[in-house]
Structure 1
Amino acid sequence: MTPQRRVGPRHRAPDGALPYWDNGRDYEYREEAAEDLLARPVTAAQLAGVRSLSWHTSSAATPLIWRYWDGESADFDVMSLEGIAGALPNLTVLRLELSRSRTSPR
């Protein structure tokens, strides 16, 4: 039995996005949902307006892709920050909870 509860406004899918709830698939990574979110157009002005960026386990995007993600897989880990300075020229604060270092700890 799939748990049901009311979806709050924080977790609603953007207009035109795939439905937030997909009974029976809420326990798996939904590739088509990730692709849908990544395909959303973002203007240069919007990118220039980003001053602070956070990525963490309570990100509003995570449950849109995998509703009941348990946090034990690397599916949402940030693997690289390559290109972020060019894409977000006015970024001054970056907070990452889900990341992996390419170097060994010392």
Structure 2
Amino acid sequence: MTQSDSPKTPITGQTNKKTTDRDYYLFALRIIGDFGATIAVPVILFVLIGQYLDDKYELGPYITILAFTLSALFSGIMIHKKAKIYGEIYQKMVDNEKK
């Protein structure tokens, strides 16, 4: 096995290194930031678009409510997909720690 074929830690990218507490903390911060953005950005964008359309077509808050619901659904789907990916990365970190 050459240096380029060696397993790398998911966060630091270093080879042949056990996973440290720092790696776990960085991984947790990465998840927090990613999940926060995944929830906040669609909600803000969809609600702003909904408010604009409500004002334009004078429909009351109905489009805004629909936009918020759609953004929550979209965010939930994206969080689920990302959680699966992060779960796999976490498992690799745990397996690397046992080596």
TM above 0.5: no
TM-score (norm 2): 0.34
If each structure's helix is expressed as a fraction of its own residues, which one has the higher value? 2
TM-score (norm 1): 0.33
Larger radius of gyration: 2
